[in-house]
Chain A
Amino acid sequence: AQKVTQAQTEISVVEKEDVTLDCVYETRDTTYYLFWYKQPPSGELVFLIRRNSFDEQNEISGRYSWNFQKSTSSFNFTITASQVVDSAVYFCALSGNQAGTALIFGKGTTLSVSS
């Protein structure tokens, strides 16, 4: 069975601090996809990044970076120099490669950035 664990329920930081959101996944598939989504207070989920299981290269996009390590089944997300606008719930998710797969979400991490 597939499972995504986000152990951090809530994180509070002050602006300009760096923060890392942890994500650990379980799957028996050899080909799978990992995602991060952001859900701001408005409620609409916003896609941030997708990674497939064969691509362990880390990625950086502005203040966001992602660290994918198959050896530890982790796909962590770091926000550098956090801003108040980063306050949201962040979800890590996992899907397989076959028709009929589902997108399995973690419980989410609520990030609060204060000024």
Chain B
Amino acid sequence: KAGVTQTPRYLIKTRGQQVTLSCSPISGHRSVSWYQQTPGQGLQFLFEYFSETQRNKGNFPGRFSGRQFSNSRSEMNVSTLELGDSALYLCASSPDKGLAKGNEQFFGPGTRLTVL
């Protein structure tokens, strides 16, 4: 089985712009979660989608949004980019009921976003 894929792998944007990141989960996985990783804050949960519904959202401003499609692929959008949004954005997919039943998550390689 192919693993979790994320595109693009690297992205450079300027302040004020918006960005869309894409994640394709492992085939058969219906749960997709997104995380932001920075040196200062570490790994922080952004949100989880399960069967096209957002089940939980972390403590991030409304500029961060996401969605999931019927094929379980997910996108994450950040509007009005700020310098502090520079980070590694990781996507993870999970089998069965996802995070709710303690299923392990399988992570993609991440998208490295740099905001200038």
Chain B interface size band reads: 20 to 34
How far does the alpha carbon of A4 sit from the alpha carbon of B9 in the complex, in Å? 29
Q: Given that A35-B104, A99-B55 are known contacts, is A44 also in contact with B99, CB under 8 Å in the complex?
A: no
Q: Is the CB of B55 within 8 A of A45?
A: no
How far does the alpha carbon of A50 sit from the alpha carbon of B55 in the complex, in Å? 22
List A42-70 residues whose CB lies under 8 Å from chain B. Answer: 42-47, 50, 52
Give chain A residues whose Cβ lies under 8 Å from the Cβ of B44: 105
At the interface, yes or no: B42 with Cβ under 8 Å from chain A? Answer: yes
Q: Is the CB of A105 within 8 A of B104?
A: no
How far does the alpha carbon of A97 sit from the alpha carbon of B97 in the complex, in Å? 10
Give chain B residues whose Cβ lies under 8 Å from the Cβ of A33: 102
The SS class assigned to the A binding surface is loop
List B3-43 residues whose CB lies under 8 Å from chain A. Answer: 33, 35, 42-43
Q: Is the CB of B104 within 8 A of A45?
A: no
Q: Given that A99-B55, A107-B42 are known contacts, is A45 also in contact with B107, CB under 8 Å in the complex?
A: yes
How far does the alpha carbon of A44 sit from the alpha carbon of B88 in the complex, in Å? 10
| Min C-beta distance of B10 to chain A, whole Å | 11
- In-complex Cβ contact of A108 among B42, B45, B88, B106 (8 A): B42
Q: Mark A75-106, 1 if CB is under 8 A from B, else 0.
A: 00000000000000001000101111111111
How far does the alpha carbon of A100 sit from the alpha carbon of B50 in the complex, in Å? 10
At the interface, yes or no: B105 with Cβ under 8 Å from chain A? Answer: yes
Give chain B residues whose Cβ lies under 8 Å from the Cβ of A99: 50, 55-56, 97, 100
* Interface residues, chain A, with chain B CB atoms under 8 Å away: 32-33, 35, 37, 42-47, 50, 52, 91, 95, 97-108
Kindly list 13 other residue pairs between chains A and B, CB separation below 8 angstroms, not including A97-B101, A101-B99, A102-B99: A32-B102, A43-B88, A45-B107, A47-B104, A52-B102, A100-B100, A101-B100, A102-B45, A102-B48, A102-B56, A103-B33, A106-B42, A107-B42
